[in-house]
Structure 1
Amino acid sequence: MRRIIKNPNSKIIKEDLKYKTKGDNSNLSIALLIEQKRFCAYTEEYIGINDAYDVEHFNPNFKNTPQDNYENWFCVKHKPNLRKSTKWFEEILHPTHDLFEERLIYNDGAFFSRDENDISTQNLIVLLDLNNEILVKDRQKYIARRKEAIEDIGKTPFEYFDKKIKNEIWVIRYLRAIQTEFDIDIWSMIPNVQEE
């Protein structure tokens, strides 16, 4: 999982979009999807045209309160959202925290707290089930296949991922793993999404 940077000039802020408990939230969900370049905030998987996705309230205790705002909303795939723990932990690392990627470390398919005493980061890992055994193995296999493909075609990681982004962006997953394993800024390589 990578840090999510919220845009101070977001359409959501400019147009004062609100989450509606009853009614249509498509304007809000599309705005979040566009800001996140169509990538799920939690799984870092591309959200395709046929994928179900949700407006996620990171802290569910804020839902339907004045604290439930742009900073608490993320676009996430539906199934991973269902997998999120229903137990809320009081101390938790927020996905927008300035030191997010320094505190939450990626290594060989799994996520760890840099500091074993960092309860907030450990709680985030548990809350989002980031180290689910199936997910860890899937990340490892994904990276191994990319390394093999890069070696087979004799290109640099940048060239390989640049071509994938241009021709089949839907196969790009696990942005933090790519960033760490290949030492490239994959997020900057992905173009901004236009209004739908």
Structure 2
Amino acid sequence: MRRVIKNDDSEVKKSNLGYIEGNSNNNLKISKILYKEQKGFCVYTEEYLGRADARDIEHFNPTLKGTKKDSYSNWFLVKHQWNKEKSTKWEDYQPVLHPTAIDFDERVVYDDGDYRVSDLNDNEAVNLINLLKLDDIILADERKKYIQRKTKELALYGESPEVFFKVLIDDDVKQISYLRAIDKEFKIDIWSLLPDPQ
């Protein structure tokens, strides 16, 4: 996971959209905007949200849902499974680091396929990792295998990482996963290579 930057000029804010429980038409508008802003990727897993993937508008702080304090800064588009697993654990992991925190990437660090805290005494960061299961063994293993495969493919391809990943993106963006891992392992800014989804 990487720090999420919320857009002050978001269509959600410009259109003054609010999440309305049970109003699928309204909430679909929010979902589509978040999808575009996130370039089609789940904020938590950093895997592409394909057509067949169940996706949720995640209220990061679920206690705000349905209140006047709930807003765009609390909403992220995520894979349904990760939202479901988080939904009942909020109170057990307080205080928690917000995904938009300016120092997020310094406090939750990528380390050879794993996510860990830079300071073991940073309760907010520790709680975030536990709450979102960023240290999930299966997800971490998939992330590591993905990076290993792409490293081998890149060596065979014989081009720069930028060219290699741009070809993958142009061919089928669903071939891209684990954005922060790509950034760190291949020393590129994968986000800048990703197109805005239609």
Q: TM-score range by the shorter chain?
A: over 0.9
**Residue 21 of structure 1 corresponds to which residue in structure 2?**
21
How many residues matched? 194
Distance 1:191 1:30 in 2: 15
8 Å CA contact 2:56–2:80 kept in 1: the answer is yes
Distance 1:34 1:120 in 2: 29
Structure 2 alignment gaps of length 5 or more: none
CA-to-aligned-CA distance 1:123-172 (integer Å, 9 cap, x gap): 00000001111111111100000000000111111111111111110010
Which of the residues 145, 149, 169 maps onto 2:153?
A: 149
Q: TM-score, normalised by structure 2?
A: 0.95
Q: TM-score, normalised by structure 1?
A: 0.96
How far 1:85 moved relative to its partner?
5.7
Q: Calculate the aligned-residue CA RMSD, in Å.
A: 1.1
Distance 1:2 1:119 in 2: 18
**Residue 195 of structure 2 corresponds to which residue in structure 1?**
191
Distance 2:86 2:143 in 1: 18
8 Å CA contact 1:39–1:46 kept in 2: the answer is yes
Which of the residues 49, 57, 61 maps onto 2:63?
A: 61
More helix by share: 2
Distance 2:134 2:85 in 1: 10
SS of the aligned residue for 1:55 comes to: strand
Which of the residues 133, 136, 142 maps onto 1:132?
A: 136
AA paired with 1:52? Answer: A
Distance 1:126 1:33 in 2: 25
Distance 1:21 1:55 in 2: 11
Q: How does 1:20-169 map to 2 (within 5 A)?
A: 20-24=20-24, 25-84=27-86, 86-88=88-90, 89-169=93-173
CA-to-aligned-CA distance 1:103-127 (integer Å, 9 cap, x gap): 1101122101111111100100000
8 Å CA contact 1:6–1:96 kept in 2: the answer is yes
Structure 1 alignment gaps of length 5 or more: none
Q: Percent identity?
A: 48
Distance 2:145 2:80 in 1: 23
Distance 1:23 1:81 in 2: 19
SS of the aligned residue for 1:76 comes to: strand
8 Å CA contact 1:18–1:69 kept in 2: the answer is yes
8 Å CA contact 2:62–2:87 kept in 1: the answer is no
SS of the aligned residue for 1:155 comes to: coil
AA paired with 1:50? Answer: A
Q: How does 1:163-178 map to 2 (within 5 A)?
A: 163-178=167-182
8 Å CA contact 1:85–1:126 kept in 2: the answer is no
Rate the CA distance shift 1:85–1:56 in 2: closer, same or farther, 3 A: closer
8 Å CA contact 2:96–2:123 kept in 1: the answer is yes
SS of the aligned residue for 1:32 comes to: helix
Distance 2:108 2:99 in 1: 10
SS of the aligned residue for 1:162 comes to: helix
